[in-house]
Structure 1
Amino acid sequence: MRILVLGGDGYLGWPTALHLSDRGHDIAVADSYVRRAYDHEMGVESLVPIEPMRTRIDAWRAVTGKEIRSYHVDLVDGERTVEMIRDFRPDAVVHFAEQRSAPYSMIDRRHAVHTQHNNVTGTLNVLFAIREVDPDIHLVKLGTMGEYGTPNIDIEEGWLQVNHKGRTDRMLFPKKPGSFYHLSKVHDSHNIEFACRVWGLRATDLNQGVVYGQETPQTALDPRLATRFDYDAIFGTVLNRFVIQAVLGHPLTVYGSGGQTRGLIDIRDTVECVRLAAENPAEAGEFRVFNQITESFSVEEIAKVVATCFDGEITIEYLDNPRVEQQEHYYNPVHTGLVELGLEPHLLSDTLISSLFGVASRHRHRADLGAMLPSVQWRSASSPLRSG
């Protein structure tokens, strides 16, 4: 297959492109490189150093003999987006190219507007480009489990059968996002469903949980192929923060009571889920949704797993929660679709022992403790901008 990976310079986009290339697909990546600009804006950087795209592509060719084509395109530019898709003529488009941080979107008006403009407009341009160039192209779009929020009912995979006043209908599952970033993903899902229903496009929405891990079999082939390891309070995940704190001998900082529960997935499972979705496309006119998680943990449970797996003494510190979210809640998402396609999940405890602690230890000298302190309050604007 010819597969175009949008956001191919990113934490997930780059290892996904390598995974798909390694499986024999003809791959192109596209990126505006705005994620690297966010590092400069926030005064932080990936714990693991990452190479420029040209170096990455050259290294992949040197190691495997396989070619990856590259486009420098901002999806907000609709004309360039159409030109790119017409030039490459993909069978599938994998769409990672969005501002992905909830805290970043909550800094202030400017960051909220940027997030929604970048994400919603970019996705709309992709939809129009597919309709214009070839409506048979399969869109595989990275959504988020954060679209659903934490309802007091089981979370179905995208759709809900509703019985109301004696009548029945199949409707999109109700959404209750917790940030302007998550809202942008909800708007994306609605726009994509509309395009499938009205234009007959085919799309798979992967509502993904929190991703952990930094290495895949492909990125481990050469240091130049490494992907990001974000641990800061703006772009990092809670698990990455805990791993760095453990390695440095600092307390694990839990927001609130730690009862907030989320779905998690290993990066190796993420790239495999994308492959399974791309190789088994949705039908024409179908808006297909998979909940892309493998396990669920509360924040406090994640801290305890880290403490159990780490070879050393660990303490846990509880901080005031900067976010507006339920501290204790019901959480039971259905996630069977990808397993039925053949996904064989990795477990969190195995990844911690086999990879994450080692990665963090090797690069501990690059860690910035101050970058892990919460700096954005959901209830009131505050600037996290820091010098160097």
Structure 2
Amino acid sequence: MRVLVLGGDGYLGWPTALHLSRRGHDVAVADNFVRRQYDYELGVESLVPIESLQTRIAAWKDVTGESIGIYVGDLTDADFTYEMLRDFRPEAVVHFAEQRAAPYSMIDRKHAVYTQVNNVVGTLNLLYAISEVDRDIHLVKLGTMGEYGTPEIDIEEGWLEVEHKGRTDRVLYPKRPGSFYHLSKVHDSHNIEFTCRIWGLRATDLNQGVVYGQQTPETVLDDRLATRFDYDAVFGTVLNRFVIQAVLGHPLTVYGTGGQRRGIIDIRDTVRCIELACENPAERGEFRVFNQMTEAMSVQELADTVARCFPGGVEIDHLDNPRVEKEEHYYNVVHTRLLDLGLTPHLLSDTLITSLFDVAKRYADRVRPEALLPKVNWRDHASPVQET
């Protein structure tokens, strides 16, 4: 299968491209490298050094003999998007190419507008390009569990059967996102569903939980193939942050009570989910949604797990929560469709966390401790959170 991975230089895009290539697919990646620019803007960097995309692709050729194509450009440039699809003629497009951090989108007006324009316009350009170049292309779009928010009812896989005044209908599950980033993903989902219904496109929306881990069977083949390990308070995932703090001997910083429950997933399962979605495409005109997570844990439970696994004493600090979110809430998510397609999940284990400690220890000299504390306040976009 010919698969085009958009955002192929990123944390998830790069290991996904390697996984699909190793599984025998003809893969090309596209990126505008703006994720690297965010590091320059924020004064942070990946804990694990990452090579340029060109070096990574050459290394993959050296190690495996497999080739990966490359396109450099921006989805908000419609001409580039059309030409890329016409040139590569993919059967599936995996779309990771969006600004992905909720805190980044909440810094101020400029960052909120940028996030919405970049994500929504880029996806709209892609939908139009698919419609005009080849409507048989299967779009596999990375969404987020954050689209749903934390409702007081079970979260279904994208759709909800409702009964109202004696009549029933099937509607998209109501969304109550918690940031401008998550809201951009809701707009994407609605735009994609609309084009499936009106133009007959085929799409799979993957509402993914919080990803943890840094290594896949492909990225460990050579240091030049490594993907990102983000730990900062803007782009870093919570488990990565806790691991770094434990290794440095810092308290684990839990926002609020830590009762916030989230879906989580191992990076190895992420790349497998993408493969399953590509190899089992949606029907023409179908907008299907998979809740891409393997288990749910609270932030406090994650902190407790890291503290238990670390070989030494670890303290846990509770900070004022800079986000506006429920800290204690109901959370029950249906996530069976990927399991039905054959996913065998890696659940969070002591072994996995120990391996993350090893990675963090190896590169501990690259940590910028000031980046670990939150600086973006949901309530007051004009005043960053003060360091304590």
Q: Normalising by structure 1, report the TM-score.
A: 0.98
1:68-105 deviation digits (Å, cap 9, x = unpaired): 00000100001110000010000000000000000000
Q: Show the counterpart of 1:10.
A: 10
Q: Show the counterpart of 2:94.
A: 94
Q: Show the counterpart of 1:103.
A: 103
Q: Retained in 2: the 8 A contact 1:42–1:385? A: no
Q: 1:21 to 1:350 in 2, by over 3 A?
A: farther
- Residue 205 (structure 2) pairs with residue 205 (structure 1): yes
Which deviates more from structure 2 when the two are superposed, residues 305-314 or residues 117-126? 305-314
For 2:299 and 2:165, how far apart are their aligned partners in 1?
40
Instruction: Give the secondary structure class of the aligned counterpart of 2:349.
Output: helix
For 1:17 and 1:385, how far apart are their aligned partners in 2?
37
Q: Show the counterpart of 1:54.
A: 54
Q: Retained in 1: the 8 A contact 2:310–2:354? A: no
Superposed displacement of residue 357, structure 1: 1.0
Superposed displacement of residue 372, structure 1: 0.7
For 1:290 and 1:311, how far apart are their aligned partners in 2?
37
Matches within 5 A, 1:1-388: 1-350=1-350, 352-382=352-382
Superposed displacement of residue 313, structure 1: 0.9
Identity of aligned residues (%): 75
Superposed displacement of residue 353, structure 1: 3.7
Q: What is the root-mean-square deviation in Å for CA atoms of aligned residues?
A: 1.2
Structure 1 runs, 4 residues or longer, greater than 2 Å off: 350-355, 382-386
Superposed displacement of residue 355, structure 1: 2.2
For 2:370 and 2:354, how far apart are their aligned partners in 1?
27
Q: Retained in 1: the 8 A contact 2:3–2:28? A: yes
1:5-46 deviation digits (Å, cap 9, x = unpaired): 000000000000000000000000000100000000000000
Which deviates more from structure 2 when the two are superposed, residues 55-64 or residues 347-356? 347-356
Unmatched 5+ residue regions in structure 1? none
Instruction: Give the secondary structure class of the aligned counterpart of 2:156.
Output: coil
Q: Retained in 1: the 8 A contact 2:76–2:121? A: yes
For 2:383 and 2:221, how far apart are their aligned partners in 1?
39
For 1:235 and 1:121, how far apart are their aligned partners in 2?
22
Instruction: Give the secondary structure class of the aligned counterpart of 1:348.
Output: coil
Superposed displacement of residue 352, structure 1: 3.0
What amino acid sits opposite 1:263 in the alignment?
A: G
Superposed displacement of residue 383, structure 1: 6.4
1:113-144 deviation digits (Å, cap 9, x = unpaired): 00000000000011000001100000000000
Unmatched 5+ residue regions in structure 2? none
For 2:84 and 2:99, how far apart are their aligned partners in 1?
20
